[in-house]
Every structure is written in C-alpha cells, then in structure tokens.
Amino acid sequence: MVHFTGLDYFWVIAYIVLTIGSGVIFYRLGKRSSADFFLAGRGLPWWLPATSNFATHTATDTPMWFSGWVYRSGMYGLWGSLFAGWCAISAWVSTRIFRRSLAGTQAEWQTLRFSGLPAELMRGWMAGWQVVLNMFVAGWVGIAMGNVCQWAFGWPLWYGLVIFSSICCIYAMTSGFWGVIIADVQQGITMLLTIVLVSVWAAIAAGGPKAIVVKIHALNRPEMLNPFHLTGFASGDYSFLWLLTLIVVPFFGGFGMATHFDWFVEAQRVQSAKSVKAASYSIWWGAATVIVRNAIWMVAVLAFFVLNPDITDSNQYQLAWFRMGFEYFPSGLVGFFFAAILAIHFSTISGILNLGAMYGARDLYHHYINPKASEKQIIRVGRIMTVVIMLGSFFFGMMIGKDVSQWLFFALWLMIAGTWLPNILQVIWWRFNGWGYLSAWIANLGICWLVVWILPAFHVLPELKDFQQFWILMGAVALIYFPVTFLTKPDDMDRLVKIYVQTRPIGFWGPVRREAERRGLLAKMEEIELKAERVATHQMGAEGKRKSAKSEKKKNKGSAARTEKRPVKKTVKMKGTGRKASKTAERRRS
C-alpha cells in the first residue's frame, strides 16, 4: 500500500489543477470552429504534434505490456518497439499523401480516394467503427489505471477507471484538440523526465548496471541480455518468423494508411500540422522518441527482474515499472511519480476522446445526419460525443478487467490483420477499388474471430502463435477482396485523377497519371506549386527584411539613447589669456 505525505498530495493536486486549467485557458480557441476543436486550426509547428505523438503513445497500459515482454524475454522485448517503425516510412510517404488530401479523418479520405456507393459505405463503416474502437481503447487504457490504483492504494478496480477518465474528459470536452495538444506538451516533458528518473533509481536499487548483468547470469538467464536470442525458425516463443513479422508488418505498413490502430491517432496530428513538411517531421520525431523511451524503460524492468525473479503471474510482473517507482522513490517524490502517471494517462485518454468525437461529429452527424449543420452545432455534438465515448469506455474497461496485456494483440493487431495489405493497396495501386476495400474490412471482422477464438475453441484449428494468426488472416481475407476487386469496375477516372493530382501517391498509378498528363493537370499543378514557392520565398525575404529593419531601428534607438546620456565636452576661449580651456556641460537633446 502506497502512503502519501503532504508534499505528495501537493504534486498530484497541482498537476490536476494545471491540466484542467489548460482546458479553461484554451476554451476560446477551441470554440472558434470545428477545425479548431478537432485539429487546432491546422496551423501547428511540427514540434507540437511531435510531442503529442510521443505523449499519446505513452499510455497507462504501455509500460504494462512492455514490462511483460521484457520481464519474460529480456532485451528481446525491445523488438516490440518496432510497432513505431511504420512512422519512419510513413513520415515520407503516406503522411505526405494524407496531409495533401486535406481529409480531416481517415473516414473522409474514403470519399476522396474511392467513388460512388462503396465510398459512402466505407466512410460510414470507418466512422462507426472508430467511435466504437475508441471507446474500447479508452476503456483499455482506463482499466490499466484502475489496475495501478488497485495495487498502489487498494481501491476497487473501477475507481481508477472512472475518476481519472472523468477528470480528463473535462478539458477534452471544453477546449477540444487545443486543450489536448497543449496539455500533451507538458505531459510529454513530465513523463519523459520521470521515465529517466525511475530507470536511474531502479538501476541504483539493483546495485548498478554491472550488478544487473551479473545477477542475470547468476539466475542462469543469459539469453535475457541478447536481443537476437532466437528459439528456432518457426518454433518456440522467439522464432525467426516472429521476428521477421515484427519487422515486415510495421515497415511495409508505412507505405499505406490505417495499417495500425496508431495511424488513426497520428492522422489527426498530421492534419493539425501547418504544412506537409511539418507533418512529416512530427511523425518521424514522435516515433523516434518512443523508441528511445522504450530503451530507457528496459533498464527499470531488468532491475525489477533481478530484484523479483520468481514472479509467474503476468498480472503482477506487468506492473514492474510502476512498482519500481512506488517502492523505491522517497516520500515527497512518490506523489510526483503518481502525477507523472496521471500525465501518461491523461495524454492518451484526452486524445482518444477527441478522436472518437471527431468521427462521431464530422463523419456521422455532419456528413450523414445534418449536412447543413453550423460550426456551433458541430462543436456541440463533438462535446456530447466526447462524453459518450467516455461512458462507453467504462463498459469496455470493466469487460477487460485485469487482462490488459492479453487484449493487446487481438484488439489492435489481429483485428486489422486482414486489412493490412488492402490499407497499403489503397495508396499504391489505382485499380484497387472501393468494393474491394469494403469487402476486406467486412471479411476481416468475421474471419479474425473465427481464427483467433471460435475455431480453436472447437479444436478445428490448433492454438497458434500471434504471428501465425496474422499471416493466416491476411491470406484468408485476400481470397475475398482480390476477386471482388477484379469482378467490379474501377473507381471513376475523374475521382482518381483528382486524388492523384492533389496527393501524388507513389506506386502503380500509370493509367491515372497518363490521363492527368493528357488533361494538362500535372503541368498546371507544377506551375501552381512553383508560384506558391516563389510567393513563400518572397514572403520569407520580406519578413527577413522587416526583422532586419526592426533590429537596426532598435540598435539605432539604443545608440541614440546612449549618446543622449553621454556628457558633452564644450571648448571655450578664456578671456584675457587667449588660451583655450574645456569645460563639461551636461546637456539633454530635446
């Protein structure tokens, strides 16, 4: 049981007040328009969405599943960081394409990339699915906080879920994405500092880095220090095929959109950036920070392992990072640690609530229910949807309970395994149409439950590894959407030409490119871009001249002020001597 001192309570209360204050301060910005409430006006410098990316992807559940991996498999668990690898490719490929499209959400992208009825069906499907999925993710992250609070304070499981998600909902509902993004900055800094402090304290508690290595060898677990420890080609927990899957899925997935659940979160930050370049930088640096974070985390988890090597219950050792902070920080710093946990929690929950509300308000309400809705109405519905997402998260959170890590691969990996390749094809292949994409999503939803849960329960399929399930799902769903694609007509050429000229996707777009060239649209686009570049250069030059003139004016003004204060020496001729003498007169220039 963790006990707080007066200083500990101060840290926690001060942090909650600071976070809620962010919502109050940015309330006026959030209510200006729906673009402000959901995308912070689309004018953010790259470092703001980059920090938000890092903060949002450091959730309360994240140290749980990462601690579980490292406690079981040592440094091999670092390969789990590769889930962020798709950002390294996406930053220079699909991120740029999506930012040029100006689509507010991935659902809206469907009506830009595809045409006709399947495009509208896909937009509705994607929007509804995102509303429900964000309820699930908020519940999943929320119940992780419930588990932490139950271990630390002895609270009932639902206390941590309900109390802190409700506090988070206040500023997410008040100021929208402005409150989320600004709070993420201070939350990202707070959590990164705390992650470093916990690892330092943990290493000291275990006797130092050298002692950790010695103790791991003494426990006869030297493989924990080998990140390339493999148990065979396809057998064992750490097979070569499993490692290959961890590399192929994220890096090739970077060429597509929605290949991971993270993409939907990142897409909001992509569109909040002020330019294509800013969007690319934000995704790349956000992911790079995540990988550095995991390397620092690993030190604390290995220290926990050598101090507590005999834990077999995954529900206990998944709390390794939290326990190192609570058990080894001194009084007064424990409250700071819990405030950092709140930062980790708030940053993800607030982003998820705003993201789900955006799909509900923009893609369901505005697009389908009330196309003539005013900006005020859209924002009002967005606030209502924020509360709805939070209430739905309570249901899913209690459903998950203590099995936080066990839901990770099914919910966020296997449930989109069958759509992994279609999500790439929609970007790189012009012939992949809306009917093929829609059939892939529908088929995947049914087949993933069959392969993962139903068929193994009836002994039709044996128990399979996660990577085996992934490739089976991808192959089974492909047997459906490829025939559907070729048996239906391509999307409307006008729509394809428009999206090609606007976004310039990579890959197999030959017929569309030739049509765009025949219409002279590519040449016009290049002319527009050249003119825009000249205008930007001229503006930068003019801005530079203004700054230079301002600086020179300030310099001259300072020089004049110094001259005014300087004593003026006056030379006069003294009567009767014919000699010149000098006297000092203090004068002020009017």
In the prediction, which pLDDT does 308 show? 93
In the prediction, which pLDDT does 374 show? 94
pLDDT band, very low/low/confident/very high, at 89 (cuts 50, 70, 90): confident
In the prediction, which pLDDT does 203 show? 94
Give CA–CA dist 435/492, Å, rounded.
13
Residues with Cβ < 8 Å from 157, sequence gap 6 or more?
143, 146, 147, 150, 398, 401, 402
- Regarding predicted confidence, which is higher, 569 or 250? 250
In the prediction, which pLDDT does 590 show? 38
The pLDDT tens digits of the residues spanning 342-391 come to 999 998 999 999 999 999 999 999 999 999 999 999 999 999 999 999 99
- CA nearest 284: which of 89, 455, 136? 89
Q: Which of 53-67, 263-277, 433-447 has the lowest mean pLDDT?
A: 53-67
In the prediction, which pLDDT does 579 show? 47
The DSSP code sequence of 85-124 is HHHHHHTTTHHHHHHHHT-SSHHHHHHHHS-HHHHHHHHH
pLDDT band, very low/low/confident/very high, at 291 (cuts 50, 70, 90): confident
The pLDDT tens digits of the residues spanning 96-113 come to 999 999 999 999 999 999
Average pLDDT (548-562) is: 62
Domains of the chain with CATH codes: 6-22+45-402 (1.20.1730.10), 413-547 (no CATH)
Report the length, in residues, of the chain: 590
pLDDT at 299 over 60: yes
- Regarding predicted confidence, which is higher, 262 or 255? 255
The pLDDT tens digits of the residues spanning 435-488 come to 999 999 999 988 888 888 888 888 888 888 888 888 999 999 999 999 999 999
- Regarding predicted confidence, which is higher, 85 or 199? 199
In the prediction, which pLDDT does 102 show? 92
pLDDT band, very low/low/confident/very high, at 2 (cuts 50, 70, 90): confident
In the prediction, which pLDDT does 124 show? 95
Are the beta carbons of 340 and 63 closer than 8 angstroms? no
Highest mean pLDDT among 423-437, 456-470, 516-530, 567-581: 423-437
- Regarding predicted confidence, which is higher, 543 or 361? 361
Reading phi first (left if > 0) and then psi (alpha if -120 to 50, else beta), residue 154 is in left
Secondary structure in 3-state letters for 368-412: HHCCCCCHHHHHHHHHHHHHHHHHHHHHHHHHHCCCCHHHHHHHH
In the prediction, which pLDDT does 487 show? 97
Are the beta carbons of 279 and 97 closer than 8 angstroms? no
Average pLDDT (188-207) is: 93
In the prediction, which pLDDT does 437 show? 96
In the prediction, which pLDDT does 492 show? 95
Q: What number of CA atoms fall less than 13 Å from residue 149's CA on the CB side?
A: 22
State the Cα torsion 207-212-213-218 to the nearest 10°.
100
In the prediction, which pLDDT does 565 show? 53
In the prediction, which pLDDT does 298 show? 93
Q: Which of 22-26, 73-77, 92-96 has the lowest mean pLDDT?
A: 22-26
Give CA–CA dist 98/118, Å, rounded.
20
Check residue 260 and report its DSSP letter: S
Check residue 571 and report its DSSP letter: E
Q: Which of 74-88, 243-257, 371-385 has the lowest mean pLDDT?
A: 74-88
Residues with Cβ < 8 Å from 360, sequence gap 6 or more?
127, 131, 381, 382, 385, 388, 389
Are the beta carbons of 84 and 265 closer than 8 angstroms? no
Average pLDDT (4-29) is: 88
Cβ neighbours around 425 below 10 Å, total: 24
In the prediction, which pLDDT does 537 show? 64
Reading phi first (left if > 0) and then psi (alpha if -120 to 50, else beta), residue 507 is in left
In the prediction, which pLDDT does 542 show? 61
In the prediction, which pLDDT does 566 show? 53
In the prediction, which pLDDT does 211 show? 94
Looking at the DSSP bridge assignments, the partners of residue 585 are: 568
In the prediction, which pLDDT does 576 show? 47
pLDDT at 143 over 70: yes
Give CA–CA dist 378/368, Å, rounded.
12
42's tokens: 């689309």
In the prediction, which pLDDT does 448 show? 85
In the prediction, which pLDDT does 573 show? 47
Give CA–CA dist 359/385, Å, rounded.
9
Give CA–CA dist 483/202, Å, rounded.
55
In the prediction, which pLDDT does 481 show? 96
User: Across all residues in the chain, what is the average pLDDT?
Assistant: 86
Place of tokens 């089974």: 476
Give CA–CA dist 272/319, Å, rounded.
34
pLDDT at 406 over 50: yes
Secondary structure in 3-state letters for 127-149: HHHHHHHHHHHHHHHHHHHHHHH
Give CA–CA dist 342/34, Å, rounded.
28
DSSP-H helix ranges across 465-586: 466-487, 493-503, 510-518, 521-565
pLDDT at 280 over 50: yes
Check residue 358 and report its DSSP letter: H
